[in-house]
A = this chain, B = another copy of it.
């Protein structure tokens, strides 16, 4: 398998955790989102992934974009250790939290959006920071309410699931932008715990060869 990654991409980070957690090897390919005007825009990468976003996974004749579709594939290719609960209703709840992060928080604060805010819209750095923090706060407030009654060490009891694979990169991103995490004690507890697990340590942005 080839995996196209960028160290600070939250979406790539999710998949890196899954690969490490399942002990699956992948030939890492690095796509620098800032160098050369963004290497994701080069024609070689664009032909793999017309969306010009990371990550992309290539396995034989399967070329797959979208981190959550890639997580789905890894779950099929190597079911154990599982990252979704066996209980169907609980697995649906995990999927919903995963999507709360991947659809309602992350897309508003990724690099291309921030570049549009300060580029074409000419917003100030201060306005950009308010934008970032606003959507993080909206999303984290909802997640804190949703998870406070069911979280253990992880979002869903003590089992590492896709929800944790999405939450930890999102909190990493929030900390970069100085978000105060004290209103979200459940999320913060899960973050602290996951940071002690080998798969999360190995997948962390600063551990990647392309980190700067």
Contact = CB atoms under 8 A, between A and B. Distances in A.
Interface of A: 50-53, 62, 64-66, 68-69, 72-73, 76, 88-89, 92-93, 95-96, 99-100, 102-104, 106-108, 112-113, 116, 120-121, 123, 127, 130-131, 134, 138-139, 141-143, 145-146
A143 B51 CA distance: 8
B104 A104 contact: no
A92 to B, nearest CB: 5
Given A103-B103, A103-B106, 6 more contacts: A62-B89, A64-B96, A65-B96, A69-B95, A108-B113, A121-B123
Q: Is the interface of A mostly helix, strand, loop or mixed?
A: helix
21 contacts: A50-B143, A50-B146, A51-B104, A51-B139, A62-B89, A64-B92, A64-B93, A66-B95, A66-B99, A68-B95, A68-B99, A69-B92, A72-B92, A72-B95, A76-B88, A103-B106, A107-B107, A116-B131, A120-B134, A121-B127, A121-B131
